[in-house]
Structures are given as C-alpha cells and as structure tokens.
A and B are shown apart, each in its own frame.
Chain A
Amino acid sequence: TQLLEQSPQFLSIQEGENLTVYCNSSSVFSSLQWYRQEPGEGPVLLVTVVTGGEVKKLKRLTFQFGDARKDSSLHITAAQPGDTGLYLCAGVSNSGYALNFGKGTSLLVTP
C-alpha cells in the first residue's frame, strides 16, 4: 500500500487566519486528489492535481502538487467557519482502480 502522510492531524484556528495542510508520500503518484468530509457525510472531491508543480485555485483554497509528484499541499486563505471539516488527500493505488487515503486533517474554524 502506498502510504500518504497528512499533517497536521488537527488544526483549530480563528476565522480570518491562513493555514496550510500537507500530504506527503515516498511514492510517486500519477495524480493526487483532495476531498472534504463534513460530519455525517461522505467525502466530496475538491480538486485533482495531475502535473508535477501544478497549482490549482478554488476560491480561497490553493492546491499544489510537488514537482516530483510525491507530495501536495492545501492552503486556505482567510478561513471561514464553513471551511470546518475533515480534509483528505488521496492517490491512485498500484491496482490502478482504488484510492489510498491519508488519515486526514481535521480543521475547526471558530468565529
């Protein structure tokens, strides 16, 4: 199993602060995905990064794929309470079908 390590595991910040979440692996991935999961729901895809060095923006969220395609980061600018949730990174496993997930970063943004 290709392991994905996420850090930090927990993050509690005030509204308006910036934050960065990291996803690292010793394996090369053809693509990495970021999901957000809210309590009582299944994860929902935010973005897929496929090219080494790629940067994608989704409103206040900025995603970056490492040059070597082994790591990725998620940066949130001016966090809002609606950003609260579990952020998961995922990469395609060696099977070519299933996704391996990191353990997630649990983010709490308080007003």
Chain B
Amino acid sequence: DVKVTQSSRYLVKRTGEKVFLECVQDMDHENMFWYRQDPGLGLRLIYFSYDVKMKEKGDIPEGYSVSREKKERFSLILESASTNQTSMYLCASSLYDRFGEQVNTEAFFGQGTRLTVV
C-alpha cells in the first residue's frame, strides 16, 4: 500500500518559533504537496514539488517555505509561526502520469498534522 507519513499528529508551538513539518512517502512518487485545511475554507495548496530540489508556490505560500532534498521527503517550514497558521496540515504525493490530454494525478494523503500556535 502507498504510505504517506507525517512526522507528528499534533503539535503545539509558540508564536515566533521556527516549525518544521516532515512528510515521507514510500512509493517513489515524483510529486509532493502541502495543503492546509481550515473549516469553511477547504484544502488550500501551500507549495508543491514535482522533482527533487524543485518547488512551486501554491495559492497561499506566504509565511511558509519548503525543502525537498530527497525524492521521498518533503518538508514544510514555518519561518516564524503565527497564530493564524493554526490549522490542519496535510501532505500528499502523486505519480505524474499523462496519457494524451488525460492526467492521472490521484493524490495519496498523510493523516495530517494538527498545528496549534499559541
């Protein structure tokens, strides 16, 4: 089975701390993603990576950075945590697979990290 593992289920951090969220996948997927999920706002894409050392901004990258030094690992970094970054963070991976105009991008998600910034 595909497995996406996030290092923590729950985290409590203080305002101003630098926070690292780690994600590892074991299926040799090219693509990895970080989303945050908030009530009433759904899943919003923060950053994604389609290859090692490659990264692209998503819809809400402000206040975040990412690192992908190895294919299986994608880290989300909160440079200086703020209370408005309290959220559920979801990591996902997918195999980029294009046949003509159709793209198979099934995303496999980790269990999420519920981050509280106090």
Contact = CB atoms under 8 A, between A and B. Distances in A.
Contact of B40 (A45, A96, A103): A103
B111 A101 contact: no
Interface residues of A, number: 27
Q: Report the interface size class on chain B.
A: 20 to 34
Nearest to A6: B42
Interface string B32-49: 010100001111010010
B102 A40 contact: no
A31 B102 contact: yes
Contacts, number: 73
Interface of B is mostly: strand
A50 interface: yes
B109 A44 contact: yes
B106 A45 contact: yes
Contacts of A99: 33, 45, 94, 105, 107
Interface string A42-68: 111100101000000000000000000
A77 B92 CA distance: 30
B104 interface: yes
B105 A97 contact: yes
B56 interface: yes
The 3 closest A-B pairs by CB, nearest first: A42-B109, A103-B42, A101-B43
